[in-house]
A and B are shown apart, each in its own frame.
Chain A
Amino acid sequence: MNHRTRNLTLILISLFFLVLITGCGKKKEPPRPQEPPEIKSVTAALSASPASIERGQSSTLTWNTENADQVTLDGRAVDANGSRNVSPARTTTFHLVAIGKGGTRQADATVTVTEPPTADITPPAITLTDEQIFAQNVTDIYFDYDRYDLRPQSQQALATAARAISQHPNWRVRIEGNCDDRGSTEYNLTLGENRARAAKDALIQAGVSADRLQTISYGKEKPACTEATEDCWQRNRRDHFVLIH
């Protein structure tokens, strides 16, 4: 044991000097002072025109970003600014992600698709219209990693949702909390529960009566997508809202 300690001490001392010598060598060239680059904040905007189409018609998506190194639209890399015609078969939310040194910004635009009117039978409009209004006004909200507090844009979305729900006293709403698949199965159930509850509390605060709102956590059991990408993980960290008749 004594030998071992002595050997260790010797090794330590010699390494100490080695470090001193090499350390000195490195210090000879002083680093050139450099201005830290100014980090500009990233912006992202996405819009659809028109926002509502009949099935078969097309809508134009237009996006603008600033100071982003990487811009993706629904997971596909696109130019910093641009536009594209889309013709979705059903109501679709497009998702823009801009990543730059100043952070990550996201923007959503929903194209609502309606059934073209049929000649002979007019569909009973009430429930269909309800679903359309619900889809337009009560949209999914997204969360940061391992967090369940509401982002500012989620609070705006919930204010819109609360107005629509209040205007339709026959609506009941189920709030489904979801997580990305990186956390552990059981812990994610509590995380999803708290995400659903955060939305419920905000809706109650905005005047919706609690007995019209149900919450459930799906943890990571019902993912919207399954790719191991930041974009997919973000799409799964969400509250999804379902209209119950």
Chain B
Amino acid sequence: MLKAAWKNSTLLLILLAASLAPASAQDWIRTGTNRGAPIRLAVPDFRSANAEPQTAPLNQVFNQTLWTDLDNSGIFEMVSKSFYPMLMPGRPTEMNLDAWGNPPPNAAMVAFGNLGVSNGRVAVQGWLFDTKNSASPQVLGKQYNEEANADNARLIAHRFADEIIFRLGGGIPGVAETKIYYISARGGHKEVWAMDYDGAGQHQLTHLGSVALSPRVSPDNSRVAFSGLGASSWQIMMYSLDLGRLVTFRQFGGSNYSPAWSSDGTKIALASSMGTGSSEIYMADASGGEPKRLTAGKTDISPVFNPKTNTQIAFVSGRGGLPQIYTMDVDGSNLQKVTDQGYAVSPSWSPNGLLLAFAWTRHYGPGLPGGQDIYLMDIASRQFVQLTHDAGKNDFPSWSPDGRHIVFQSTRAGGEQIWTMLADGTHQQQLTREGRNSQPNWSFK
């Protein structure tokens, strides 16, 4: 009887501890994911600078893209447009700082400007004003001029958004101009595809006609390495983004899977059965030369470099039963087991080197609670935070270069689709809808 009571109160203590945990978890996760207290930012629609027929539609594309980029960044509290004053400023002389800096908008910063098309060119003027600094309110003033089309309206919005994010987000470049590489089977075969970070401009890169898996873009955005199914084995293949076609890459014996770039572009880690007949982690130079075996786990795959130092590799191994995440130095020494329960796969190392994102089924087996979700682990303390909850199977997280976002695949909307979220698990949104899409990889810049 006493024993049962003791057991119950222990359980209660654990539940209490668990309910108190998120507050402290929030601290380290914000520190680790480059997110401070949000700044209240107002972004009135840019004014049309003239009555040219192309001006209004391009301005609409621009305004929508700019708003989404700033909202996505995770460092702003966007002031709702319903609080804005009647007069929308299109240039600094029309800016009334008090009207924007006091309630109801109560904005700390205002981004505004104008857009006009003339002679087939789209011209944009944009400013960022600090409402609390009446002496010299201008933080940014930018001009852009490009050929007039919707893609360029989007591009200019991305660039202006990244300027604002860089200036107000602690000097970390924004991600509005980055790309996501992924696998899509919408054409009948799994091929490598690419899209903008917000899901726009989805297009097919490879045409293998067999199976392509595990795309990883090089740090300089010139090539995408992936694993392709050949006639009798899997080989690392290389797609040149500059040339728009496959280029030769060294063929190894056995099968070769899951390539990964070091962040300086000089090394590639991969899993290969070239030496032992079973999958082990190897490291080679960027052209595939001098491959060196680093592990002997028989079931090792999915390596990823610590992009901060390039001196460590995280990977997956089933050497102890179900797959778990391990780390080691790039010479294979200092092996550490990072997870020790359930089924843990698909590590992605955060740009600052402090956190691992990975897919984890913590309680693995038929009838056990919970699913496969994305988790973050602080490598030093082994504290972890669950980012997705009760929403399909989630896998293949990949960090954005600013460390504020994670792209991943999820089955919550039916088949596998690609989603993004802020690195604290908020702001989850679906990027792909057509066919099945998986294994996203966020570019380094």
Asked whether, in the complex, the Cβ of A27 is within 8 Å of the Cβ of B1, the reply is yes
Given A12-B12, A16-B9, A216-B233, CB of A191 within 8 Å of CB of B438:
no
B164 to chain A, nearest CB (A): 38
Asked whether, in the complex, the Cβ of B1 is within 8 Å of the Cβ of A189, the reply is no
Q: Give chain B interface residues in 1-43, CB to chain A under 8 Å.
A: 1, 4-5, 8-9, 12-13, 16
- Whole-angstrom CA separation of A189 from B5 in the bound complex: 48
Stretch in contact with the other chain, from A17-25, A72-80, A81-89: A17-25
Does A8 interact with chain B (Cβ within 8 Å)?
yes
Most buried by B among A184, A191, A197: A184
Does A190 interact with chain B (Cβ within 8 Å)?
yes
Asked whether, in the complex, the Cβ of B255 is within 8 Å of the Cβ of A216, the reply is yes
Asked whether, in the complex, the Cβ of B1 is within 8 Å of the Cβ of A187, the reply is no
Which of B214, B234, B277 is the one whose CB lies under 8 Å from A197? B277
Asked whether, in the complex, the Cβ of B1 is within 8 Å of the Cβ of A146, the reply is no
B224 to chain A, nearest CB (A): 16
- Whole-angstrom CA separation of A189 from B323 in the bound complex: 12
Residues of chain B within 8 A (CB-CB) of A16 are 5, 8-9
Does B132 interact with chain A (Cβ within 8 Å)?
no
Asked whether, in the complex, the Cβ of A190 is within 8 Å of the Cβ of B271, the reply is yes
Asked whether, in the complex, the Cβ of A146 is within 8 Å of the Cβ of B301, the reply is no
Residues of chain B within 8 A (CB-CB) of A186 are 213-214, 257-258, 271, 301-302, 316, 345-346
Residues of chain B within 8 A (CB-CB) of A146 are 318, 322
Which of A19, A23, A191 is the one whose CB lies under 8 Å from B299? A191
| Contact bitstring A173-192, B, C-beta under 8 A = 1, else 0 | 01000000001111101110
Asked whether, in the complex, the Cβ of B278 is within 8 Å of the Cβ of A20, the reply is no
Closest to A219 in B: B213
Closest to A16 in B: B9
Given A20-B1, A23-B4, A216-B233, CB of A189 within 8 Å of CB of B255:
yes
Does B439 interact with chain A (Cβ within 8 Å)?
yes
Asked whether, in the complex, the Cβ of A8 is within 8 Å of the Cβ of B345, the reply is no
- Whole-angstrom CA separation of A221 from B229 in the bound complex: 10
Asked whether, in the complex, the Cβ of B302 is within 8 Å of the Cβ of A187, the reply is yes
Residues of chain B within 8 A (CB-CB) of A191 are 299, 318
Interface of B is mostly: strand
Asked whether, in the complex, the Cβ of B9 is within 8 Å of the Cβ of A189, the reply is no
Interface size class, chain B: 35 or more
Residues of chain B within 8 A (CB-CB) of A214 are 232
Residues of chain B within 8 A (CB-CB) of A215 are 277
| Contact bitstring B182-199, A, C-beta under 8 A = 1, else 0 | 000000001000000000
Closest to B3 in A: A23
Residues of chain B within 8 A (CB-CB) of A190 are 257, 271, 278-279, 298-301, 318
Closest to A15 in B: B12
Which of B234, B278, B316 is the one whose CB lies under 8 Å from A187? B316
| Contact bitstring A185-214, B, C-beta under 8 A = 1, else 0 | 111011101100100000000000000001
B368 to chain A, nearest CB (A): 13
Asked whether, in the complex, the Cβ of B318 is within 8 Å of the Cβ of A185, the reply is no
Closest to B213 in A: A185
Closest to B276 in A: A197
Given A186-B301, A186-B345, A187-B323, CB of A19 within 8 Å of CB of B9:
yes
| Contact bitstring B272-299, A, C-beta under 8 A = 1, else 0 | 0100011100000000000000000011
Asked whether, in the complex, the Cβ of A221 is within 8 Å of the Cβ of B211, the reply is yes
Closest to B232 in A: A214
A79 to chain B, nearest CB (A): 26
- Whole-angstrom CA separation of A194 from B318 in the bound complex: 11
Does B161 interact with chain A (Cβ within 8 Å)?
no
Given A187-B345, A190-B318, CB of A20 within 8 Å of CB of B299:
no
| Contact bitstring B396-427, A, C-beta under 8 A = 1, else 0 | 10000000000000000000000000000000
Asked whether, in the complex, the Cβ of A216 is within 8 Å of the Cβ of B301, the reply is no
Asked whether, in the complex, the Cβ of B438 is within 8 Å of the Cβ of A185, the reply is yes
Closest to A200 in B: B277
Residues of chain A within 8 A (CB-CB) of B4 are 19, 23
Residues of chain A within 8 A (CB-CB) of B357 are none
Residues of chain B within 8 A (CB-CB) of A12 are 9, 12-13
Residues of chain A within 8 A (CB-CB) of B255 are 189, 193, 216-217
Does B177 interact with chain A (Cβ within 8 Å)?
no
Which of B8, B234, B439 is the one whose CB lies under 8 Å from A189? B234
Residues of chain A within 8 A (CB-CB) of B278 are 190, 193-194, 197
Closest to B395 in A: A184
Residues of chain B within 8 A (CB-CB) of A193 are 255, 273, 278-279
Does B356 interact with chain A (Cβ within 8 Å)?
no
B294 to chain A, nearest CB (A): 15
- Whole-angstrom CA separation of A184 from B16 in the bound complex: 33
Residues of chain A within 8 A (CB-CB) of B346 are 184, 186
Most buried by A among B4, B13, B316: B4
Interface residues of A (CB under 8 A from B): 8, 12, 15-16, 19-20, 23-24, 27, 146, 174, 183-187, 189-191, 193-194, 197, 214-218, 221
17 cross-chain CB contacts under 8 A = A12-B12, A19-B8, A23-B1, A23-B5, A24-B1, A184-B346, A184-B372, A186-B214, A187-B299, A190-B278, A190-B298, A190-B300, A190-B318, A193-B255, A194-B278, A214-B232, A221-B190
Please name 7 further chain A to chain B contacts, defined as beta carbons within 8 Å, in addition to the given A15-B8, A189-B301, A190-B299, sorted by A numbering. Answer: A16-B8, A23-B5, A184-B323, A189-B279, A193-B273, A194-B299, A221-B190
Interface residues of B (CB under 8 A from A): 1, 4-5, 8-9, 12-13, 16, 190, 211, 213-214, 229, 232-234, 255, 257-258, 271, 273, 277-279, 298-302, 316, 318, 322-323, 343, 345-346, 359, 372, 395-396, 438-439
